[in-house]
Structure 1
């Protein structure tokens, strides 16, 4: 009798079996739903569907889900062994600007860091003063000095407006619209732009050329002068990525030579940066190719030698 009661307790009832089967079906259904949801999809409590960005979904994750797992370097350090060599960058370079455009000073540094991790680095840029590029290069330069990336060569070509043209911007609000009557040498806004262009370019060139003596890297930095004012800034990285941002013109007050002037100028660092990658499909690849052809054609034809002085 005791064995019969024990067996009865161990045998699952019909209700129990049905509950187990229902649970299994729910698990399979839940798994299939999760696998079918794209990274930027989510569902509202009401059941209605909306598109959400990857950044929003990452922000919704619990803190424990966003913390990086302990890597081999930390474990090796505790054991007293030397850490393994660094094989990846601890930078947000994996963020795709094609999915989420970012302000130029947010998006450009990690993309440059990724580009500088290649053995042969080539950067082509067309811009107004090179200030944003100069600041953004601090990130890959830091990684080089830390020994985390080791490029063998760096070739940088930069197109900047000529000092001898009447710029479309920056200009004084009161400047005559007839560019033929402007006197460039006597225009304080033009002179201030020229000083900024020269200083930013000189600092950029100095910081890169210093890598020759400190790390033995073959570095070349060349400037050419554009006969027009660029309406957008363009960065071409290793022939595989094109980054573009529009110059947004605004009216603002500027301190120029001790006086406050109303000017039409741009805040280039805050412009949204759009990325086109060769591996991002036919549309992106075509944009990268055409942008590189545009830059090379300007470099070889209507631009002139530029002296930063």
Structure 2
């Protein structure tokens, strides 16, 4: 994960930031979304959204723990993780590091069948673990492709964060 490499560098002493601030935008699974949905009729299923919530919460807690440990060990003066949710399905993955680098990848959709509370559910879901991430970095000037990409990715993130995102457990 792009976020984990810098954390490893802090733990090993190769990076020494004063603070770490992480902001996570996640889908609000309390309402129907485009995915996950049942294959049959593309219908919403609350159990699938609950499953998606559990996965997102597990990942968010893992990130928060990794960052908070750095402060507990005294490797950074302060560390924070903020989480907001929004009412759109996550169809891509975006990491922005220090407003200087962006990693972007699409979540392909796939058909899956899982048992939830003893019932089998066949549904369309996003595939995130094996997503190919494309790296973009700020260049020597603001007109380079990398610079424009990072700036636009940050603008998009900030616009969602400050308008339609809100605080709630994922």
Is TM (by shorter chain) over 0.5? Answer: yes
- Give the corresponding residue for 1:77: none
**Structure 2 unpaired stretches of 5+:** none
Q: What secondary structure sits across from 2:55 in the alignment?
A: helix
Q: In structure 2, do the counterparts of structure 1 residues 205 and 295 end up closer, same or farther at CA, with 3 Å as the change threshold?
A: same
Q: Distance in 1 between matches of 2:130 and 2:87?
A: 25
Q: Select the structure that is richer in helix.
A: 1
Q: Distance in 2 between matches of 1:230 and 1:166?
A: 13
The offset of 1:142, in angstroms, is 3.4
- The correspondence of residues 46-85 of structure 1 with structure 2, limited to 5 A, is none
- Give the corresponding residue for 1:297: 159
Q: Select the structure that is richer in strand.
A: 2
The offset of 1:173, in angstroms, is 1.7
CA RMSD, 1 decimal: 2.1
Rg comparison, structure with higher value: 1
- Of 41, 48, 60 in structure 2, the residue corresponding to residue 201 of structure 1 is 60
1:6-55: CA deviations, max 9, x gaps?
xxxxxxxxxxxxxxxxxxxxxxxxxxxxxxxxxxxxxxxxxxxxxxxxxx
Q: What secondary structure sits across from 2:169 in the alignment?
A: coil
- Give the corresponding residue for 2:27: 161
Q: TM-score, normalised by structure 2?
A: 0.86
The offset of 1:176, in angstroms, is 4.8
Whether the aligned pair in 1 keeps the contact of 2:104 and 2:133 (CA below 8 Å) is yes
The offset of 1:192, in angstroms, is 0.9
Q: Which has the higher contact order (CA 8 A, sep 6+)?
A: 2
Whether the aligned pair in 2 keeps the contact of 1:154 and 1:219 (CA below 8 Å) is yes
- Give the corresponding residue for 1:97: none
- Give the corresponding residue for 2:126: 266
- Of 221, 237, 248 in structure 1, the residue corresponding to residue 81 of structure 2 is 221
- Of 53, 58, 70 in structure 2, the residue corresponding to residue 211 of structure 1 is 70
Q: Distance in 2 between matches of 1:256 and 1:175?
A: 19
- The correspondence of residues 1-309 of structure 1 with structure 2, limited to 5 A, is 108-109=1-2, 112=3, 137=4, 139-174=5-40, 176-177=42-43, 182=44, 187-217=46-76, 218-279=78-139, 282-308=144-170
Q: Distance in 1 between matches of 2:23 and 2:168?
A: 12
Q: Distance in 1 between matches of 2:148 and 2:130?
A: 26
The offset of 1:216, in angstroms, is 4.5
Q: Distance in 2 between matches of 1:212 and 1:237?
A: 19
Q: TM-score, normalised by structure 1?
A: 0.50
Aligned residues: 167
Whether the aligned pair in 1 keeps the contact of 2:16 and 2:75 (CA below 8 Å) is no
**Structure 1 unpaired stretches of 5+:** 1-107, 113-136
Q: Distance in 2 between matches of 1:190 and 1:145?
A: 35
- Give the corresponding residue for 1:80: none
The offset of 1:152, in angstroms, is 1.5
